Structure 1
Amino acid sequence: MIDLFSLLLTHGLMLLAAWRLVRRADLDREGPAPARARWGRAPDA
């Protein structure tokens, strides 16, 4: 029972992660990646 639960849980989480990656709009665009803040700081621009 525990083995089945752990398999369903991990595969379900991987499916959720894959679904969220496929649904991202920025994966459909070509070009440089936008600047993002790292560790809570504003990007250097």
Structure 2
Amino acid sequence: MIDNLGLALSHGLIILAAWRLLWRPDLNDDSASPPAADEAAPKLWKGRKGA
């Protein structure tokens, strides 16, 4: 019983997430481009530039 409940719950949540992602209004909007690579990643590593 627990196994079937766990499988149903996990698969149901995956289906719900996919359903919500597919029906987003900006899914097919080309003007909503992702940020550039320099803006997307935070500057966590401050290494030497010449090395």
* Smaller-chain TM-score bracket: 0.5 to 0.7
Query: What TM-score results when the alignment is normalised by the length of structure 2?
Result: 0.60
In the other structure, the counterpart of 1:20 is 20
Q: How many residues align?
A: 34
Superposed structure 1 runs of 4+ greater than 4 Å apart: none
Name the aligned partner's letter for residue 13 of structure 2.
L
RMSD of Structure 2 on Structure 1 (CA): 1.5
In the other structure, the counterpart of 1:7 is 7
Between structures 1 and 2, the one with greater helix share: 1
The structure showing larger relative contact order (alpha-carbon pairs under 8 Å, at least 6 residues apart) is 1
Overall identity of the aligned pairs, in %: 52
Gaps of 5+ in 1: 34-45
Query: What TM-score results when the alignment is normalised by the length of structure 1?
Result: 0.67
